[in-house]
């Protein structure tokens, strides 16, 4: 069912590319209605236009808050052309049907980014625009609604193809996009209010999402995937890809894991990620040394993983990186000589993270028709609440090293055990149903790749040891300091084992499950 466009209402904050729409409307002898800045723009481009106040014979009021909120506008949009009663009422009131609405909203998001003045933000909450959009989308059988200037080309094609008309399928598709936009717009405003009022878990939760890109595939090649931005600034994510193939779901999953850990490091450091788990993490004053230490923790697992650095990559570091196959390299900057080396690997993805910032305090996991939300786990442990449970007590430096170990541990999939030496991981046991199995994996990896560093090493556990068997395994491997939350009914047995072996142990009282 095609519908001829005779009258159009245009109200846009983004006035770019407007001329090409005006040309096609003029060609098809469409009457144009507009107001405010859009009206002035249309006239300045040399096109005829009727101002809204003249069309409605009602002058806008309340500083422009009431312009298009008028029966003549909304009856023109909402009238059912196939309903004789509707059309009789329209004729009786001398109202015209409005067949095309082109609207985009006040720039609330841009105002939030640029202007912290609350009054200015409130005035940039669009009322008339979303109201017209919803009305037009509801009446898609008769009215065409355009909310995205990227659809101007499709509208032009429709009008050319159908001699000034649009097809029902096109109008219905545009309506679906329109309702998506109004829902997104309202959710952005709703979340802004929640943030202003410190409401973390409102009764009704809306999660806005703006599509950033279609991804190569999902977790597996037969799955489709896209990435969305859930932020007021929905234009970019802060990651600038320099080279390499398009990113996949798994690439982003690993990248996000790497950035999360990287953001928790307070010194120069490197994180190597494989399947969303760290295979090596190291902090060192020397960027090159931090990379080498992170890689040497588990060079086998690192193969095909991603490297995340909070420093600039120079020629020497690039030469070291190029010795191993990685999929993605994240860094603050890449020197020219480093780029020459890394760009020789055509499939390698290089990403500049200099503008990336962690801003959200929420974690969201979805399943079927439900989702879970929680605060991010920012805590490592509270020094004032530590319990020094063994006869031997750790030094200040040992506690600092233990804090690094526990910080890495909280990002490893549970059950997790992390063995470290001098602010570098040397063994990581991840994702095991049994804690003792995680201990075995961490120890075996350390013995395989870093046997000399096992002596006097530090081990962190994300939760308490239900039995002392895991403690015994770590002690036997050379660990001399164990940091764990404590809280098991068998804690005393674990303390006795540690004391007997002259091993230091501290309880934090802070659990770090990561599922």
Burial label, 492 (beta-carbon count in 10 A; 0-12, 13-18, 19+): exposed
What pTM did the predictor assign?
0.86
* Residues 112, 57 share a domain: yes
**Taking Cα atoms as reference points, which of 383, 421, 399 lies closest to residue 508?**
383
HSE on the CB side for 506, CA within 13 Å?
A: 27
Pairing type for strands 349-352 and 328-331 reads: parallel
Q: Is 374 among the domain residues?
A: no
* Residues 243, 170 share a domain: no
* Residues 124, 15 share a domain: yes
Which residues, 6+ apart, have CB-to-CB distance to 118 below 8 Å?
none
Q: Is the dihedral of CA 38, 40, 45, 48 positive or negative?
A: positive
Dist. CA 451–CA 270, nearest whole Å = 21
Q: Say how far residue 253 (Cα) sits from the centre of its chain.
A: 11
Q: Is 34 among the domain residues?
A: yes
* Conformation bin of residue 94: beta by default, left when phi > 0, alpha when psi is -120 to 50: left
Dist. CA 260–CA 263, nearest whole Å = 5
- In order, the DSSP letters of 406-438 are HHHHTTSPSS-EEEESSSBEEEEE-S-SSHHHH
| 149 in catalytic set | no
Q: Is 220 among the domain residues?
A: no
41: helix, strand or coil: helix
Q: Which of 2, 4, 138, 292 is catalytic?
A: 138
Residue written as tokens 């234009």? Answer: 235
DSSP state of 506: E
Domain of 55, in residue numbers: 3-196
Which residues, 6+ apart, have CB-to-CB distance to 115 below 8 Å?
121
Beta strands in 266-348, from DSSP E residues, in sequence order: 269-274, 277-283, 306-309, 312-313, 328-331, 333-334
- In order, the DSSP letters of 170-207 are HHHHHHHHHHHHHHHHHHHHHHHHHHHTT-SS-SS---
**Taking Cα atoms as reference points, which of 493, 510, 482, 513 lies closest to residue 388?**
482
Dist. CA 22–CA 41, nearest whole Å = 11
- Most distant pair of Cα atoms in the chain: their distance: 98
Q: Is 512 among the domain residues?
A: no
Q: Is 72 among the domain residues?
A: yes
Q: What is the CATH number of the domain that holds 396?
A: 3.40.140.20
Q: What is the CATH number of the domain that holds 188?
A: 3.40.50.1380
Q: Which of 275, 292, 315, 472 is catalytic?
A: 275
* Residues 297, 245 share a domain: yes
- The residue from 177, 196, 215 where one domain ends is 196
Which residues, 6+ apart, have CB-to-CB distance to 348 below 8 Å?
243, 244, 326, 327, 328, 329, 342
- Residue-wise burial string across 198-236, b where 16 or more C-beta atoms lie within 10 A, e elsewhere: eeeeeeeeeebeeebeebeeeeeeeeebeeebebbebee
382: helix, strand or coil: coil
Pairing type for strands 306-309 and 277-283 reads: unpaired
Supply the pLDDT for residue 321. 96
Per-residue pLDDT of the chain (515 residues; tens, 9 = 90+): 888 899 999 998 888 889 999 999 989 999 999 988 888 999 999 999 998 888 878 777 676 677 777 888 888 898 888 888 888 888 888 888 999 999 987 666 666 666 666 776 777 777 788 888 999 999 999 999 999 889 999 999 999 999 898 999 999 999 999 999 899 888 888 888 888 888 889 898 888 888 999 999 999 999 999 999 887 766 778 999 999 989 999 999 999 999 999 999 999 999 999 999 999 999 999 999 999 999 999 999 999 999 999 999 999 999 999 999 999 999 999 999 999 999 998 889 999 999 999 888 888 888 888 989 998 999 999 999 999 999 999 999 999 999 999 999 999 999 999 999 999 999 999 999 999 999 999 999 999 999 999 999 999 999 999 999 999 999 999 999 999 999 999 999 999 999 999 999 999 999 999 98
Please say whether the beta carbons of 454 and 447 come within 8 A.
Answer: yes
- The residue from 313, 336, 352 where one domain ends is 352
* Residues 28, 124 share a domain: yes
Residue written as tokens 């030469």? Answer: 319
Supply the pLDDT for residue 491. 96
Dist. CA 427–CA 308, nearest whole Å = 19
- 369 phi, psi to nearest 5 deg: -105, 25
In the chain, how many domains are there? 3
Dist. CA 168–CA 403, nearest whole Å = 62
Which residues, 6+ apart, have CB-to-CB distance to 234 below 8 Å?
109, 208, 210, 212
Q: Is 202 among the domain residues?
A: no
* Residues 347, 401 share a domain: no
Q: Is 496 among the domain residues?
A: yes
* Residues 388, 348 share a domain: no
Q: What is the pLDDT of residues 361-405, one digit of tens each?
A: 888 888 888 989 998 999 999 999 999 999 999 999 999 999 999
* Residues 86, 32 share a domain: yes
Supply the pLDDT for residue 106. 65
**Taking Cα atoms as reference points, which of 418, 64, 117 lies closest to residue 261?**
418
Supply the pLDDT for residue 200. 87
- 406 phi, psi to nearest 5 deg: -70, -35
Dist. CA 377–CA 343, nearest whole Å = 36
* Residues 400, 324 share a domain: no
HSE on the CB side for 115, CA within 13 Å?
A: 13
Tokens of 11: 């109200």
| 222 in catalytic set | no
* Residues 393, 339 share a domain: no
* Residues 303, 417 share a domain: no
Supply the pLDDT for residue 192. 83
Q: Is 105 among the domain residues?
A: yes
* Residues 402, 319 share a domain: no
- The residue from 337, 352, 367 where one domain ends is 352
Dist. CA 463–CA 514, nearest whole Å = 10
């Amino acid at each position: 069912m095609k519908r001829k466009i005779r009258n159009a209402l245009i109200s846009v904050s983004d006035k770019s590319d407007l001329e090409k729409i005006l040309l096609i409307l003029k060609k098809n002898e469409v009457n144009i209605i507009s107001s405010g800045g859009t009206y002035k723009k249309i006239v300045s481009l040399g096109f005829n236009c009727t101002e809204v106040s003249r069309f409605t014979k009602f002058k806008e009021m309340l500083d422009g808050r009431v312009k298009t909120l008028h029966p003549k506008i909304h009856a023109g949009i909402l009238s059912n052309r196939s309903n004789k009663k509707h059309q009789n009422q329209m004729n009786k009131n001398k109202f015209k049907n409005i067949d095309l609405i082109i609207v985009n909203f006040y720039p609330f998001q841009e105002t939030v980014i640029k202007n912290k003045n609350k009054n200015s933000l409130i005035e940039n909450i669009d009322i008339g625009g979303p109201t017209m959009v919803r009305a037009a989308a509801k009446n898609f059988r008769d009215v065409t609604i355009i909310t995205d200037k990227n659809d101007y080309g499709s509208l032009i094609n429709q009008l050319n193809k159908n001699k000034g008309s649009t097809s029902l399928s096109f109008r219905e598709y545009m309506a679906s996009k329109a309702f998506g936009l109004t829902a997104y717009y309202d959710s952005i405003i709703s979340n802004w209010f929640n943030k202003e009022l410190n409401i973390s878990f409102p009764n009704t939760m809306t999660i806005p999402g703006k599509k950033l890109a279609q991804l190569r595939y999902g977790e597996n090649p037969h799955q489709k995937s896209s990435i969305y931005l859930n932020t007021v600034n929905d234009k970019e994510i802060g990651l600038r890809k320099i080279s390499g193939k398009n990113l996949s779901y798994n690439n982003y999953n690993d990248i996000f894991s790497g950035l999360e850990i990287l953001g928790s490091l307070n010194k120069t450091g490197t994180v190597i990620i494989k399947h969303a788990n760290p295979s090596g993490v190291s902090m060192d004053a020397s960027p090159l040394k931090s990379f080498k230490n992170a890689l040497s923790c588990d060079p086998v697992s690192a193969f095909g993983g991603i490297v995340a650095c909070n420093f600039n990559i120079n020629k020497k570091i690039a030469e070291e990186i190029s010795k191993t196959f990685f999929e993605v390299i994240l860094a603050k900057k890449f020197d020219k000589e480093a780029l020459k080396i890394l760009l020789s690997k055509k499939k390698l993805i290089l990403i500049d993270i200099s503008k990336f910032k962690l801003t959200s305090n929420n974690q969201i996991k979805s399943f079927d028709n439900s989702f879970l939300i929680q605060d991010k786990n920012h805590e490592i442990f509270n020094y004032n609440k530590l319990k020094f449970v063994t006869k031997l007590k750790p030094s200040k430096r040992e506690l600092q090293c233990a804090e690094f170990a526990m910080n890495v541990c909280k990002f490893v999939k549970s059950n997790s055990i992390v063995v470290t030496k001098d602010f570098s991981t040397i063994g990581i046991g991840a994702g095991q149903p049994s804690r003792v199995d995680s201990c075995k994996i961490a120890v075996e990896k350390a013995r395989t790749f870093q046997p000399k560093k096992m002596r006097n090493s530090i081990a962190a556990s994300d939760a308490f040891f239900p039995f002392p068997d895991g403690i015994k395994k770590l002690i036997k491997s050379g660990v001399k300091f164990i940091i764990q939350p404590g809280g098991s009914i068998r804690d005393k047995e674990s303390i006795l084992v540690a004391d007997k072996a002259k091993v230091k142990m501290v309880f934090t009282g802070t659990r770090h499950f990561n599922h």
